[in-house]
Structure 1
Amino acid sequence: MQIIDAHAHLWLHQDTEVNGMKIKTLENGRSLFMGEIRQMVPPFIIDGRNTAEIFLSNMDYAQVSAAVITQEYIDGLQNDYLREVQNKYPNRFLCCGMVDARVPGYLKHGEELIKQGFGALKLPAGRLIMSDKRVWLTCDEMMQLFRLMEQNDVLFSVDLADGNEQVAEMEEIIKEFPKLRIAIGHFGMVTQPNWLDQIRLARHPNVRIESGGITWLFNSEFYPFKGAVKAIKEAAGEVGIEKLMWGSDYPRTITAITYRMSYDFVLKTDELSQEEKEAFLGKNAASFYGFTDLVELPYIKNMSE
């Protein structure tokens, strides 16, 4: 089985602001995060640099062949670093560019990112309803950006606000741009009310759902995340297992669990068939994102074995 992570993050440092609140890398894996200190990455990453090389070491150990690197406003725009990563490791990563849609004029920046070779753009859409002035996903500038992306076959990676807050907007986008590939993250914010409304968007041919952050959302129940497995089954019943993809939300999730544990609970459950596990953990993502020539990674025994 070849495994693909459809939702992970990389950065060299965090130094940004969201809704007037600072986010900044400190030391020992901690960050100042909106008024409090949080363990942003594992404490052994003492300089807070969440690099591609550290992630590749985790991927090789966990036998994950490739990953989609998304972005989030809480990390700041990481386009320059991710362009370097994409060029250096083209068979291991698909890196998403990101514009700051909270500030008018982002269409031009999106054009530049596409010209630079980004094959996907990410939008943390849930953040757009939290600002002083809501940015609608269907506003003129946004729709021009989606048209440009569709014309250039640039994938749209998006994390929506909880529940069905932005579902109607997404329906309009999907109708207007039926060839725009869309990956919806965080498994529809599965632990929140009306999460299945987001999942049902994948009934459209060009839409997929990825599970980045599902272990965070079910953190209170912890491993083996039986609630997450149940949710995967329920979503598959709504749209088909072929529309669902695994994502880890690395590295924030591995402050609580290991990287392997972020998918191991799927491998070990009896609630999914072998064919469903292979589709969810890799085959669906390989087809949707266009990964080819995936590396074969051997299992390395632990010293404790």
Structure 2
Amino acid sequence: MDFKIIDAHAHLWLSQDTEVNGQKIKALEGGQSIFMGEIRQMIPPFMVDGRNTAEIFLANMNYAQVSAAVITQEYIDGLQNAYLSEVGEKYPDRFMCCGMFDVRRPNYIKHAKKLIGHGFKALKVPAHRFFLPEGRLYLTSDPMMEIFRLMEKNDILLSIDLADGAEQVGEMKEVIAACPDLRIAIGHFGMVTREGWQEQIKLARNKNVMIESGGITWLFNDEFYPFTGAIKAIQEAAGLVGMDKLMWGSDYPRTITAITYRMSYDFVLKSKSLADEEKAMFLGENAERFYRFKSLIDLPYIKNMSE
């Protein structure tokens, strides 16, 4: 490869112990977690203590030749701001970490401002979780718009996951129109495999909006490797907005309970349906430009004992 690979959507945490809509999420042993009323294999079983640390991820990244990663967040993992602040300071050339405020708590505007003041260069908004028991929170509400304008003013990137289909697309269009200089990364490849996913992709026709594919192997899990449907979806999205608007993301570590970390991008690299320049753009070059990564590490290929 004559390009560096960047993962635009991954997760880290020291402890998983939280609630979403009154349902418990808590790490157990052997990579399992209590997840909303059932036990699920949240992470690979060799993560025996439930800790999903930067060092374990770096070992996977080095093995898979992934130079850098964007660490996003989600309410199902609990807020990891303190840990991710440490990770960003310790490994500045390998990780860009997103802070996350919690709209379920009072005075979340103050929290968002505090994260920006603390030095986070990106904030995560899990908007698909905004359908709260007490009512739906709109992205265009006054508090959210105040946060978005503040992010735009301070050049803070917005990483956002939207609800299935076009449910929140209209709101996003209003946010983009009001904050045209706000850099936005839309996750989960627009919830590809769900009806209307293309409407989320089309948001990237705006100059500062990009699409990342975190979770695409989860969404196409039923067909499994080499994820032919995912390749077709990437091609369809490129036809809508251009390959220069698309970025690879793994959704590590949950996705590697089914496949290896390398497999989460290898299906793209080995595809005969994409040109080499398209693979380079999708797997690294677009993210390097958009997230402004500098001094990317060059990782050699290490042969397996089985080779």
Deviation of 1:104 after TM superposition, in Å, equals 3.5
Residue matched to 2:56 = 54
1:70 maps to which of 45, 64, 72: 72
Distance 1:103 1:165 in 2: 23
3-state DSSP of counterpart to 1:223: coil
Deviates more, 1:122-131 or 1:294-303: 122-131
2:220 maps to which of 215, 218, 221: 218
What is the correspondence of 1:163-178 to structure 2 with a 5 Å cutoff? 163-178=165-180
State the AA in 2 paired with 1:203: R
Distance 1:104 1:207 in 2: 29
Percent identity of paired positions between Structure 1 and Structure 2: 71
Unaligned runs of 5+ in 2: none
What is the correspondence of 1:148-187 to structure 2 with a 5 Å cutoff? 148-187=150-189
1:135 maps to which of 128, 134, 137: 137
Deviation of 1:255 after TM superposition, in Å, equals 0.1
- Where has structure 1 moved over 6 Å in runs of 4 or more? none
Deviation of 1:103 after TM superposition, in Å, equals 2.7
Distance 2:133 2:263 in 1: 35
Deviation of 1:132 after TM superposition, in Å, equals 3.0
Contact 1:223–1:265 (CA<8 Å) still a contact in 2?
yes
2:267 counterpart of 1:265:
yes
Under a length normalisation based on structure 1, what TM-score does the superposition of the two structures give? 0.99
Contact 1:186–1:211 (CA<8 Å) still a contact in 2?
yes
2:11 counterpart of 1:9:
yes
Residue matched to 2:241 = 239
Distance 2:7 2:133 in 1: 30
1:90 maps to which of 86, 89, 92: 92
Under a length normalisation based on structure 2, what TM-score does the superposition of the two structures give? 0.99
2:81 counterpart of 1:106:
no
State the AA in 1 paired with 2:123: L
Distance 1:235 1:129 in 2: 27
Aligned length in residues: 305
Distance 2:94 2:273 in 1: 30
Distance 1:15 1:72 in 2: 12
3-state DSSP of counterpart to 1:304: coil
Distance 1:16 1:44 in 2: 22
Deviation track 1:261-282 (CA, whole Å, cap 9, x = no partner) reads: 0000000001110000000000
Unaligned runs of 5+ in 1: none
Distance 1:149 1:272 in 2: 35
Deviation of 1:221 after TM superposition, in Å, equals 0.1
